[in-house]
Amino acid sequence: MENEKLEEIFLVLDDKLEKAKNVLQDDYAAIRAGRANPHVLDKLQVEAYGTMSPLKQLGNISVADARCLVIAPWDKSLLKAIEKAIQASDIGINPTNDGTVIRLVFPELTEERRKELVKQVKRMGEDTKVAARNIRREAMEGIKKLKTGKEISEDEASNAETDVEDAISKCVSELEKIVSAKEKELLTI
Amino acid 138: pLDDT: 94
Residue extents of the structural domains in the chain? 4-30+110-187, 38-105
Amino acid 2: pLDDT: 61
Amino acid 1: pLDDT: 45
DSSP 3-state percent helix, strand, coil across the chain (nearest 5) = 60, 15, 25
Question: Distance of alpha carbon 26 from its chain centroid, rounded?
Answer: 3
- What lies within 8 Å, CB to CB, of 16 at 6+ separation is 135, 138
Amino acid 32: pLDDT: 65
List the chain pLDDT tens, one digit each, 189 residues: 467 888 999 999 999 999 999 999 888 877 766 667 787 788 888 888 888 888 888 889 888 887 888 999 998 888 899 888 888 887 777 888 888 899 988 777 788 888 888 898 999 999 999 999 999 999 999 999 988 988 888 888 899 999 999 999 999 999 999 999 988 888 876
Quick check: 36 and 67 in contact, CB under 8 A? yes
**Class of the domain covering 4-30+110-187:** mainly alpha
Quick check: 72 and 85 in contact, CB under 8 A? no
Please give the helix or strand (H or E) that residue 69 lies within, else none: strand 68-73
Type of residue found at 180: S
Q: Which long-range contacts (CB under 8 A, 24 or more apart) does 48-54 make?
A: 48/75, 48/78, 48/81
User: Rounded to whole angstroms, how far apart are CA atoms 6 and 151?
Assistant: 9
Amino acid 64: pLDDT: 82
Of 41, 18, 21, nearest in space to 31 by CA: 41
Q: Do domains 4-30+110-187 and 38-105 have the same CATH topology?
A: no
User: Rounded to whole angstroms, how far apart are CA atoms 139 and 62?
Assistant: 43
Length of the chain: 189
CATH architecture of the region 38-105: 2-Layer Sandwich (3.30)
